Structure 1
Amino acid sequence: MTAAKGLTLRQLGPTVYLPSGVYSIGTGAIAPVLALSATELGASFAVAAVVAGMVGVGQILGAVPAGVLVSRIGERRTMLLGSSLAVPALLACVFASHVLLLAVAVMLVGLTAAAWGVARHAYMAEAVRPELRARAMSTLGGVGRIGTFLGPFAGSVAVHLMGLKGAYLVALGAAVIASVLLLALPEVPHGRPVFAGAAPALRDVIRDNARTLRTLGLAVLLVGALRASRQTILPLWGASLGLEPATIALIYGISGGVDMLLFYPAGKLMDLYGRRSAAVPAMALLGLAFALLPLANGVVGLAAAGVLMGIGNGLSAGLVMTVGADVSPAAGRAQFLGVWRVCADLGAGGGPLLIGAVTAVASLTASAVVVGAAGLLAAGLMYRWLARK
């Protein structure tokens, strides 16, 4: 069969989007309680922050091995393995009796998330019709954001009833349900290219695609940094203005709501007019929002900056996955996408660290300007290295 006979968005609903949404609810449920679990075990705030950050460490460490695993056993088996291994990892979080054990368990949760994410990306890159790729990827990103948004609410109910362990049990249940739903995932509906000999080695894939990783890989790293920085700097700026936590949460929620409304339009824009059409304005708007943040001296100004960030982030929904699928080689696709994910995850981990470092050395205002400049640089790189159509 030909690539034109790939899956449509409607066909992806029950087999890809539904399990992804369920899995994301679990991820969102535990996000607010990771640091709290560490403090319950006697950790300081600084150590608790490190424990919460171990999810990102696990995702970075797990991405490349996940790509290799996909190339050997396939996408569905890797996703099933990842969601299945999440169960003992989450149980380890519940029963951890020492901060170090909790940190290891949290890292394992990140490793399983990496396996899930890389395998899902590789599956979508193979299975979706090329003319629908951006819409499919942006919808996947949107479903994930909705699940992550709903997760803390489900987790809060469970925490109210059972304590902190309730959030982990919500995530455990989500992982089990996602695994069951994955059993209905069909095989890639068009034949993969057949290559003589064994699948290419990871080092060969990296060597053959080094130019792409140096150029667009850097741009994707900046995209990850901007997205993560938005989640950090909005609350910090609100606190610096002396706003109440409830007000800051409302502004953050409005920004997230604007973000979620744009995921499908962003995908359609990329499919119809090329990846540049969404990537460049998205990064420019994010950069501009950060750069203008020092002018926000009250609720209205911070809300305006938050809305602008939401528009920019929403326009970039599915961007990293879409571009990764576009530039991935037919031979060694899964290995490449594992490395590609590392680029994005390094940025996501580095963005908040950059804000902290610049704020410590200079000020929060300086950190906003630096991240804003990174946004404009990302826009320039996307314009330079992405094809027009």
Structure 2
Amino acid sequence: MRSLVVTVYLPALLFAVGQGAVIPVVALTATDLGATAAMATVVVALRGIGTMVFDVPAGSLVGRIGERRAMAAATALLAVALVGCILSPNAYVFAACMFVMGCGWAVWLLARLSYVSEVMPMHLRGRALSTLGGVQRIGNFIGPLVGAGAIALGGLDGAYLVHIVLAVAGWLVLVSVPDPHATSVPPHAHLPVAQVVRSHRHVFATAGVAAACLGVLRVSRIAIVPLWGERIGLDAAQVSLIFSFSSAVDMTLFYPVGLASDRFGRRAVAVPCLVLLALGFAWVPFTDSVATLAAAGVLMGIGNGLGSGIVMTLGADYAPPGARASFLGVWRLVSDVGQAGGPLVAAATIGLVGLGASSGVVAALGVAGAGIFLVALPPAHDDPEQAERT
């Protein structure tokens, strides 16, 4: 894993810090350019939608030109999108730039996932990918602090400049450092999407659906916890403090979780991850103070931390050798449906059954996902691909 520090983790940290600097100011930039609050919400969602839409093309691109060239293309696309964000004359152009940014992120993330999947043996893969997930969490935690300093100096454009500089720096690290695994990474075989889906339909219909459920829970807490905090009379500072506690717990778990995943199997972390997240959501409607909501938030943080890198790890485990990129493109699309659809699920259930019951519905999705993982994932140390065939 030491060989991944410079080739994977340092560039990932730089990209994640840049992303973390930009995300908090997207809605503010949109409103500054004339967007209504509703339109600003759509603009925020467009980055995730761009990532989801481009997952499968990203897999094809990585499969055709390789990880390093794909990384260069992704960096260029991100830089163009970020410059476009700075120069946007109106909210519509800015929205298009956010979508393109999501496309660039899809390529970058899939290239790194494909590379780690190839070079790490299965007994180290859980640690390698949970660490990658942890690095992304740390970067997203640091990013807003760096962005705040840049905004103080240069306004909202400063956050986008931070992302440009760090994205280019990450790419320069990649191209300037020799790849210690260059001779061990075989060329990719490009497979048509229909063939990938047909050959691995059982995986996508079981573990893929459970991964999508996990995505729904992860993004729904960003909506439900603040809204419930407002319902019980908490102010914005108190809600932010709850998220800080939750994130701090989340970030500390990534390496122990990866170690447990490698020693005891993916099921040993995937099932508790969803169970604890579900319990946290089930608890939310019964909280009535900052202390009790914070306790529910910390429980969710523990659950989310137990899932550090688990979706990437499962994708790497199931991906067929030689055609990993094509498979991972479809796998990321299936799992990203939950990330993109989570806010819609939360909004729809809040409108239909109310805020408290909505939290219960999301909890039920978590229980369902945990049940699917419990049945679908193989016992410790078994090869998931072999389990799928049998």
Find out whether 1:310 has 2:301 as its counterpart.
Answer: yes
Corresponding residue for 1:378? 369
1:20-31 to structure 2, matched below 5 A, reads 20-31=12-23
Q: CA deviation at 1:84?
A: 2.1
Secondary structure of 1:33's counterpart equals helix
Secondary structure of 1:10's counterpart equals coil
Find out whether 1:66 has 2:58 as its counterpart.
Answer: yes
Confirm or deny: 8 A CA contact 2:119 2:185 kept in the other structure. Answer: no
CA distance in 1 between partners of 2:41 and 2:216 (Å): 18
Confirm or deny: 8 A CA contact 1:216 1:382 kept in the other structure. Answer: yes
- Which residue identity does 1:290 align to in structure 2? F
Corresponding residue for 1:137? 129
Corresponding residue for 1:91? 83
Find out whether 1:324 has 2:315 as its counterpart.
Answer: yes
Q: CA deviation at 1:307?
A: 0.7
Q: CA deviation at 1:205?
A: 1.6
CA distance in 1 between partners of 2:178 and 2:221 (Å): 34
Corresponding residue for 1:148? 140
Q: CA deviation at 1:58?
A: 0.7
Corresponding residue for 2:383? none
Corresponding residue for 2:291? 300
1:232-243 to structure 2, matched below 5 A, reads 232-243=223-234
Q: CA deviation at 1:194?
A: 7.6
- Which residue identity does 2:55 align to in structure 1? A
Find out whether 1:285 has 2:276 as its counterpart.
Answer: yes
Corresponding residue for 1:266? 257
CA distance in 2 between partners of 1:185 and 1:122 (Å): 18
Confirm or deny: 8 A CA contact 1:256 1:310 kept in the other structure. Answer: yes
Stretches of structure 2 that go unaligned for 5 or more consecutive residues are 381-390
After TM superposition, the structure 1 stretch with the greater mean CA deviation from structure 2, 181-190 or 334-343, is 181-190
Confirm or deny: 8 A CA contact 1:35 1:51 kept in the other structure. Answer: yes
Q: CA deviation at 1:193?
A: 6.1
Corresponding residue for 2:326? 335
**Counterpart pick for 2:167 among 160, 175, 196:** 175
Confirm or deny: 8 A CA contact 2:15 2:167 kept in the other structure. Answer: yes
Deviations 1:18-50 (A, max 9, x none): 000000001111101111111011111000000
1:195-206 to structure 2, matched below 5 A, reads 199-206=190-197
Stretches of structure 1 that go unaligned for 5 or more consecutive residues are 1-8
Q: CA deviation at 1:207?
A: 1.3
TM-score (norm 2): 0.95
1:246-265 to structure 2, matched below 5 A, reads 246-265=237-256
Confirm or deny: 8 A CA contact 2:190 2:326 kept in the other structure. Answer: no
Q: CA deviation at 1:332?
A: 2.1
Confirm or deny: 8 A CA contact 1:279 1:382 kept in the other structure. Answer: yes
Confirm or deny: 8 A CA contact 2:217 2:277 kept in the other structure. Answer: yes
Report the RMSD for the aligned CA atoms in angstroms: 1.4
- Which residue identity does 1:186 align to in structure 2? D
**Counterpart pick for 1:53 among 45, 56, 72:** 45
CA distance in 2 between partners of 1:84 and 1:143 (Å): 22
Confirm or deny: 8 A CA contact 2:20 2:141 kept in the other structure. Answer: yes
CA distance in 1 between partners of 2:29 and 2:191 (Å): 43
Q: How many residues matched?
A: 379
Corresponding residue for 1:13? 5
